[in-house]
Structure 1
Amino acid sequence: MTEEPTLPREGRHAHQHDLRAFKGVEAWVFDLDNTLYPATSALFSQIDERISRFVAKHLDLSPDEARVKQKAFYKKYGTTLRGLMIEYKMDPDAFLAYVHDIDYTPLEPNPALGEAIGRLPGRKYIFTNGDRPHAERTAARLGIADHFDDIFDIVAAGLMPKPNLETYRKFLARTGAAPARAAMFEDLSRNLVVPHRLGMRSVLLVPDGTREVFREDWELEGANAPHVDFVTDDLKGFLTAVLGAINS
């Protein structure tokens, strides 16, 4: 007997439940951190820690003070880097090089995910608030780099992070993707507001084995809102189910 593909886990208020909604999608857009790899890999936690260290060093703050400042910037500006640039005229190159100087060995290769992405019809993109070198190293470690047509990073975005509308417009202009024929995969609900408004299918990734996103309260706001079409804790399984639906 053929095993049924893993079904997507959908949020209580997700207003689309039929995976055939992905028929006609020609551009598949994936966030990087905590989306293409699980949060349990602790990769992003390394970045988060290095951001705190950078803030502490360059603003001459204690670790606790730096953490508060870091999170305040992140909440207000979308990234800590944006806050440092606006309020302290910080050099973005120095920041990006420092915070992405991490150990990638905790990431396990995921050929099954790569196969699922490779089978998707159309073009595939990584769209990240990190930089291209970090995305390239991450995708290479996962063994999925060859399945993507391009990477749109924070530098290509003019250092304006998601969820700013301008950033999505730059992405669409660069790739030529049509929102009505595109799908966006993200681990943060707020980064799906604009894609959904533009007409893209929106998919929220949550930690494995739970429907909750373990983040600060403000980051949880809107997780079950109508701008989130689908919710899943298994990206590979979800894509497998989508492929089954659009090829049926």
Structure 2
Amino acid sequence: MSMNAFSSVSDWVFDLDNTLYPAQTNLFAQIDDKIVEYVIRLTGMSREDAQRIQKDYYRRYGTTLRGLMMEYAIEPDDFLEFVHDIDHEALKPDLRLGEAIGRLPGRKFIMTNGTRQHARAVATKLGIFDYFSDTFGIQEAELMPKPYAETYERFIKLYDIDAKSSAMFEDLARNLKVPHDLGMRTVLVVPGGTREVFREDWELRGRNAPHVDYVTDNLAAFLETLVG
């Protein structure tokens, strides 16, 4: 697919964690640790078993929260508040990324399986928050995470988006399947150096899948090629 495919894009949709900032910051690792701690408190499991449950639910249900709601019938608000109470100091302003996002024509959105408050905190630290029209978080999705189709449909309906005039940026290939089927241009963001240290094998599958139109290891540089 040619880069000219983006010439008609008027709505730009970005995942948050490990997409708008690189996994090397370890920010999402803090959330992982908080989730494991929550599972330990909930179940009394060992840390090893809690980590296994956390990864298993994340893989099977899209988020650990969804798995805990299905398997343990937990209330989501306490979970979301607890796991997103993290230190954002590792994040620094990304002026290059902000400038590139700001030059994109049309509307820009954050679509995350985290909370709107978490997205605001992260985007503010990165210095890019003001470039976005809105943030669609897990509560706006009625607790149904990506990659479920109804989540994307809810997002599209809420903002009156034409999928065929949209682009989606994600760090997980599985979360690009539905957007691609809907007609969006899809971009997989895989920052260099994350394969061996920061990501599990299943998270890295699919970069050559037919529903992934482009792969980049540098989001800012990729966006710069679109705006000249």
**Band of TM-score, shorter chain:** over 0.9
Structure 2: gaps spanning 5 or more residues: none
The residue matched to 2:167 in structure 1 has which SS?
A: strand
Residue 213 of structure 1 deviates from its aligned partner by 9.2
Give SS of 2:152's match.
helix
Which residue of the partner structure matches residue 108 of structure 2?
124
For residue 122 of structure 1, what is the amino acid of its counterpart? G
Q: 1:9-48 to 2 correspondence within 5 Å? A: 16=1, 18-48=2-32
Measured after TM superposition, the shift of residue 210 of structure 1 is 7.2
Q: Does 1:231 align with 2:218?
A: no
- 8 Å CA contact 2:113, 2:137 repeated in 1: yes
The residue aligned with 2:89 is 105
Task: Report how far residue 220 of structure 1 moved.
Answer: 2.6
2:69 match: 85
Q: C-alpha distance in 2, partners of 1:108/1:237?
A: 18
Q: Displacement of 1:219 after TM fit?
A: 2.3
Preserved contact between residue 206 and residue 213 of structure 1 (Cα < 8 Å): no
In 2, are the aligned partners of 1:213 and 1:220 still within 8 Å (CA)? no
CA contact (8 A) 2:16 2:111 kept: yes
Give the number of aligned pairs. 228
Aligned counterpart for 1:240 among listed residues 215, 224, 228:
224
Question: Which has more radius of gyration?
Answer: 1
Which consecutive segments of 4 or more residues in structure 1 shift more than 3 A? 209-214
SS in 2 for 1:97: helix
In structure 1, the partner of 2:35 is 51
Alignment-mate amino acid for residue 112 of structure 1: R
Provide the C-alpha distance between the structure 2 equivalents of 1:102 and 1:120, rounded to a whole number of angstroms.
Answer: 30
Structure 2 match to 1:4: none
**What is the aligned partner in structure 1 of residue 149 from structure 2?**
165
Once superposed, what is the RMSD of the aligned Cα atoms? 1.4
Distance in 2 between the 1:58 and 1:145 partners? 34
Q: C-alpha offsets along residues 127-186 of structure 1, whole Å, 9 cap, x if unaligned?
A: 000001100000000000000000000000010000000000000001111000000000
Identity of matched residues, %: 58
Normalised TM-score (structure 1): 0.89
Pair 1:226–1:213, CA change in 2 (3 A): farther
Partner of 1:10: none
Q: Deviations over 1:219-248 (max 9, x none)?
A: 23322111100000111000000112xxxx
The Cα offsets for residues 15-64 of structure 1, whole Å up to 9 and x where unpaired, read as: x2x21110110000000000000111111110011111111111111100
* CA distance in structure 2 between the partners assigned to 1:51 and 1:214 by the alignment: 17
Q: Secondary structure at the match of 1:154?
A: coil
C-alpha separation in 1, matches of 2:149 and 2:196: 26
**Which blocks of at least 5 consecutive residues in structure 1 are unaligned?**
1-15
Bigger relative contact order (CA 8 A; separation at least 6): 1
Q: Distance in 1 between matches of 2:64 and 2:96?
A: 33
The structure with the largest helix share of the pair is 2
Cα drift, residue 112 of structure 1: 1.4
Q: Which residue of 2 aligns with 1:207?
A: 191
Contact 2:23–2:194 (CA<8 Å) still a contact in 1?
no
Give the Cα–Cα distance (whole angstroms) in 1 for the partners of residues 195 and 49 of structure 2: 32
